[in-house]
Structure 1
Amino acid sequence: MYKVFVNEKPLFLTNTVERETDFRMFLLESVDIEQLIVNMFNNKVKKAFLYHPDEKETLKVLKEKIPVAKAGGGLVYNKKGEVLFIFRNGKWDLPKGGIEKHEEIEDTAMREVEEETGVSGLEIVQKLQKTYHVFKRNGTYRLKITHWFEMKTNYTGKLFGQIEEGIEKVAWLNPEQIREALGNSYENIKLLFENVEIEK
């Protein structure tokens, strides 16, 4: 099952029919996806399921209905085991950004981390899960698919938030601070930490 966030509300792509309780269920093939997204942005729908009988096809069918933007980002650790966070639009986030033409997604992720935070000497440790959310740009709704990578660095220099990206703050956060930051973060970012052991 895929989980796509629309204005921080979950839209599940599923191949199982469940009895409706606190959510609405739609047929992925026939749904007016734009209308559903507008309703989610306007808080008329809090949670929805899009049904398609073939689970492998669900994401493909959704991509045919809405333009896709591909991005890469990093969950970056330093030598102390702290994680690199950025603060923008009033929330804690992880550095990420859109792919450029002829660029490999791993290169996108490392370039964006460096541009948004000033941190260099990055090394990819492993590929993490992808996250999905819908955003609006120039009047068009798009599905952003972000490829995440765990990275490490020995960088100890100054942190620089990319001003033109609206980044107000860049910080290395320890486990306790991470737990606090996740209380004021995005659902997709919380998802990434579900499988990460934050030391007590």
Structure 2
Amino acid sequence: MYRIYINDTALIIADFIPDDIGAYQQIDPQTFDFKEFYKHVKKAGEAVFVILTDDPKRMFKKIRKPFLVIKAAGGLVKNEVNQYLFIFRKGKWDLPKGKLDEGEQTRIAAEREVEEECGIKVLKVGDRLCKTWHVYEDRGQIVFKKTSWFKMKARKQKLVPQLEEEITEARWVDGGDFAFIKQNTFPLIKDIISLVEM
């Protein structure tokens, strides 16, 4: 199963209908045109679309093939008092992440981005939590961003938001207190939070 996010819209490509998606619209894989779909939904509110296919991997590859793919990495950072690190960027709560430098390993990029964006020292980069796909436009080009997310550990320390990346706040949030984050974040971030709430 693949989930592609365009702002608040999720496009799911799968060979079954997932239980947890709520209301959705089904799309015919035969007539699907991603460019048209993107134009239609990029300014839409929260919505879920599903493409049912026998071969989700093949369908996903076909959809993203014409477009530029950018690799990024980030972290879900936990401290010793069970708090998680969030950033506030462009009016929404988010998690620290960024693009890989030329030839950089994903895990190293994730650690570097977290440290740069929040002004902290990461103690440990753990297992990969998940991969996400986010689609956006850059200079008129549609771009697929593949982000690898890692579990990380850090001491509770003073946070210094990277203002040049438009991060206006970095905050430690108690493990059971994600409600206010969820009210003002992207569906993609909600998906990542749900992995630690289980």
Common fold by TM > 0.5:
yes
TM-score scaled to structure 1, two decimals? 0.87
Identity %, equivalent residues: 33
- Residue 23 (structure 1) aligns with: 25
Aligned residue for 1:80, secondary structure, equals: coil
Q: 1:46 to 1:101 in 2, by over 3 A?
A: same
Provide the C-alpha distance between the structure 2 equivalents of 1:45 and 1:92, rounded to a whole number of angstroms: 16
Please give the residue correspondences for 1:76-115 in structure 2 after superposition, counting only pairs within 5 Å.
76-115=77-116
Equivalent positions of 1:14-163 (< 5 A) are 14-15=14-15, 22-27=24-29, 31-43=32-44, 46-154=47-155, 156=157, 158-163=158-163
Match of 1:160, SS state, is coil
Deviation at 1:116, TM superposition (A): 0.3
Measured against aligned partners, the alpha-carbon deviations of 1:32-86 in whole angstroms (never above 9, x if no partner) come to 2111100011439944333443133233222213221111000001111100110
1:187 paired to 2:196: no
Report the aligned-residue RMSD: 2.4
1:171 corresponds to which residue? 171
Aligned in 2, Cα 1:103/1:22: closer, same or farther, shift over 3 Å? closer
Q: Give distance in 1, aligned partners of 2:86 and 2:104.
A: 24
Distance 1:40 1:2 in 2: 18
- Distance, in Å, in 2 between the alignment partners of 1:3 and 1:67 is 17
Mapped partners of 1:34, 1:147: distance in 2:
25
Structure 1 unaligned spans of 5+ = none
Aligned length: 194
Residues 16 and 85 of structure 1, relative CA distance in 2, 3 Å threshold: closer
Change (3 A) 1:142 1:83: same
Question: What is the distance in 1 between the residues matched to 2:91 and 2:109?
Answer: 25
Contact 2:7–2:186 (CA<8 Å) still a contact in 1?
Answer: no
Indicate conservation of the 8 Å contact 2:2/2:56, yes or no: no
**Alpha carbons of 1:94 and 1:54: their partners in 2 closer, same or farther (altered >3 Å)?**
same
TM-score by length of structure 2 reads 0.88
Residues 7-16 or 85-94, more deviating: 7-16
Do the aligned partners of residues 123 and 49 (structure 1) sit closer, same or farther apart at CA in structure 2, a change above 3 Å counting?
A: same
Given the superposition, is the C-alpha separation of residues 197 and 26 from structure 1 closer, same or farther in structure 2, using an over 3 Å criterion?
same
| Cα distance change, pair 110–160 in 1 and its aligned pair in 2 (3 A) | same
Q: Cα–Cα, structure 1 residues 45 and 89, in superposed 2: closer, same or farther, change >3 Å?
A: closer
Which 4+ residue blocks in structure 1 deviate beyond 4 angstroms? Answer: none
